[in-house]
Amino acid sequence: MKTGLALLGCGTVGTAVAEMLLAEKELLQERSGQSLELKHILVRNRRRKRAVKVPSRLWTTNPSDIWADPTVDVVVELIGGLEPARTLALAALRAGKHLVTANKHLLAVHGAELFAAAMKARRAVCFEASCGGAIPIIMALTRGLVANDIQRVIGIVNGTCNYILTEMSASQRTYADALAEAQAAGYAEADPTLDVNGTDSAHKLAILAALAFGAKVSFSHIEVSGIHGLQDQDLKYGRELGYVCKLLAIAEKSDHGISLRVHPTFLDQKQLLANVNGAFNAISVSGHAAGQTIYYGRGAGPRPTASAVIADIVEASMGTAAMVFAGLPLLTRRKSMPIVPTRDILSRNYLRMTALDVPGVMHHITGILGQQGISIAAVVQHESSVGQYVPLVVITHEARDGAVTDAVKKIDRLRCIRGHTVRIRIMEP
Ligand code: NDP
Ligand code: HSE
C-alpha cells in the first residue's frame, strides 16, 4: 500500500526522517509492508543548504500545497514549539490528514485541542517520538500495559541533561562543555534552556502521566526544577555519600490524587536508574498486575527520534493508529483527578549551603531545620580557615517537602549564608 507523506520542518530530526525515508525505502517496505512516499517538505527558508539530498520539487514554503494535495495521507510536524506548529497541525487535521508529531511542548500545552480536532476529523494524532526518543513508551502505556491500574511512572526523560550529568561525573567535563557537546550531537532543543531548566522533562511527564492514569493533566500542575543550578562539587559530594544525580520526572497515584514533579534526584549508585548514562533515557512504569517494568534506550538524537517518527508513520499508514485513537479513552476521554501538592511529599534531602565559618553558624541552621520538624541525618564540612565561606552539606532524614522548602528560604536569609542553598531530593531504592 502507498502512503503519501509531508514533513513540516527539516531541521535536526526532519533531516534524519527524510534521509531514512529516501535511503532506506526498501528496508522500510520490507519490514512494514508500506510504501512510504515523501511528497512535500515545508521549511522556512528554501534557499538554505540542506544536509539531505532530496528532489528539489519536494521543498515548499507554502503549507497550502500540502493541504490541497489529495495524495498526502500523513503530515509529520517536526517544527517544534507552539506556533506555527499548533496552527499547522490543526490545519493538517482539518484537511483530513493524519498527524505525526515529535513535539512534546505542543502536546503538553495544546494536546486536548489537537486530540479533539482529530476526533472531529476522524483522523489520528501519533506522538511516539515525543517522549523517550527511540523507546516505544507510548506504545507500552497505551497497548502493552492497558490491563494495568498504573500507580507510578519514574523516568530519566531528557537526554541532554543526562548527558551533561554523566559527562560532569564521569569525565569531569564542565557543565558548559557538556551542554555544547549535547547541542552538537543534536540532543538539545532549539532553545536548550528548556532542557536544563527541567521544562522539557515536564512536557514529557504531562504526556506520560495523562496516558498512565487516563487523567487530564495540565503542564502547570507539575513542579519543576532543573540541573542548571548544580555544580561539580554537588556531584562530588554525592559520590562521597554513595549517590548518583539524575534529573527525574515522577508521577505517582495515591488515594489522594496524583503528584507530578521534575527535579534533580540523588539515587543510590547501585539502583538501575543511577546507571543510565549519556543521552540514554529509562522509564520505569509500575502497574497493579505487571508490577515494575522498565524501558531503556536512546532518548534523543536525530536517528533514534526518526526511528520513533517512522514507526508512527507506519501505524498511521496501516490504519491501526486511527482505530486505537478512536477507541482508547486513555487518549481522548480523560478523567479529572485531584493533584497532590509536592509540599506534601516525603523525602530525604541533600542541602549544600555556602556558610561563613564562624562560631554559631551551625546553631542557626540546625535551629531553623528543627523549627520545621526536620531531623538531620548527616553533616559534611571539610576543614577550612576560620572566617571564610565554606560549603556545608546537610543530609536530612525523611521530611515533608514543603517544610524543607520553607527551611531553605529561611536559611538563605541568614547573614552567615552566601547565595542560594542547593537542594537535591534523595530517592531511596
Ligand atoms: P530544528 O529547530 O532543528 O528544526 C526546525 C525545522 O522547522 C527547520 O527545518 C525550520 O525550517 C522549520 N521551521 C521553523 N519555523 C518554520 C515555519 N514558520 N514554517 C515552516 N518551517 C519552519 O528542530 P528539531 O529537528 O531539533 O526538533 C523538531 C521537533 O522534534 C521538536 O518538537 C523537538 O522538541 C522534537 N524532538 C527532538 C528530538 C531531538 O533529539 N532533537 C527528540 C525528540 C523530539 P528551516 O530549516 O528553513 O529553518
Ligand atoms: N532535547 C530533548 C532531550 C530531545 O534532550 O531529551 C528528546 O526529546
First to last CA, the chain: 49
**pLDDT given for residue 11 in this prediction:** 98
Mutational pocket test of ligand 2: of 105, 165, 179, 195, the residue with most ligand atoms within 8 Å of the beta carbon: 195
Give me the residue label for grid cell 531548566.
197
Give the Å distance between the CA of 103 and the centre of ligand 2.
10
**pLDDT given for residue 383 in this prediction:** 78
CATH superfamily, region 137-298 = Dihydrodipicolinate Reductase; domain 2 (3.30.360.10)
Banded pLDDT at 337 (limits 50, 70, 90): very high
pLDDT at 386 over 80: no
What digits encode the pLDDT tens for the residues 154-207?
999 999 999 999 999 988 899 999 999 999 999 999 999 999 999 999 999 999
- Looking at domain 2-133+304-332, does it have CATH number 3.40.50.720? yes
Provide the whole-model pTM: 0.97
Domain with CATH 3.30.70.260 in the chain: 343-427
Q: Percentage of residues in the chain with pLDDT exceeding 90?
A: 95
Q: Are 334 and 210 in contact (CB under 8 A)?
A: yes
pLDDT at 21 over 90: yes
Q: Which helix (H) or strand (E) covers residue 167, if one does? A: helix 159-170
Options 39, 104, 204, 253, the catalytic residue:
204
* CB neighbour list of residue 155: distance below 8 Å, 6 or more residues apart: 132, 204, 205, 208, 248, 249, 281, 282, 283, 284
pLDDT at 358 over 90: no
C-alpha cell at 310: 517512522
Closest residue by CA, ligand 2 atom 7: 300
C-alpha cell at 78: 517536526
The CA distance from 208 to 130, in Å, is 10
How many other C-beta atoms lie within 10 A of the C-beta of residue 420? Answer: 14
What digits encode the pLDDT tens for the residues 295-313?
999 999 999 999 999 999 9
Banded pLDDT at 105 (limits 50, 70, 90): very high
**Nearest C-alpha neighbor of 243 from the set 282, 280, 283, 271:** 271
Banded pLDDT at 1 (limits 50, 70, 90): confident
Q: Are 73 and 315 in contact (CB under 8 A)?
A: no
**Nearest C-alpha neighbor of 212 from the set 158, 260, 277:** 260
Q: Are 347 and 377 in contact (CB under 8 A)?
A: no
Q: What is the mean pLDDT of the chain?
A: 96
Is 410 a residue of the active site? Answer: no
**pLDDT given for residue 384 in this prediction:** 73
Angle at CA of residue 270, ends 267 and 273, nearest 5°: 55
Closest residue by CA, ligand 1 atom 28: 78
> Which residues contact ligand 2 via a Cβ below 6 A?
133, 158-160, 187-189, 195, 200, 299-300
Give the Å distance between the CA of 265 and the centre of ligand 2.
19
Domain with CATH 3.30.360.10 in the chain: 137-298
Which ranges in 218-350 belong to alpha helices (H)?
232-240, 302-318, 320-327, 329-332
* CB neighbour list of residue 309: distance below 8 Å, 6 or more residues apart: 13, 17, 76, 78, 100, 102, 128, 129
Mutational pocket test of ligand 1: of 17, 61, 78, the residue with most ligand atoms within 8 Å of the beta carbon: 78
Ligand 1 atom nearest residue 10's Cα: 9
For domain 343-427, give the fold. Alpha-Beta Plaits (3.30.70)
Domain with CATH 3.40.50.720 in the chain: 2-133+304-332
Q: Are 17 and 128 in contact (CB under 8 A)?
A: no
Banded pLDDT at 428 (limits 50, 70, 90): confident
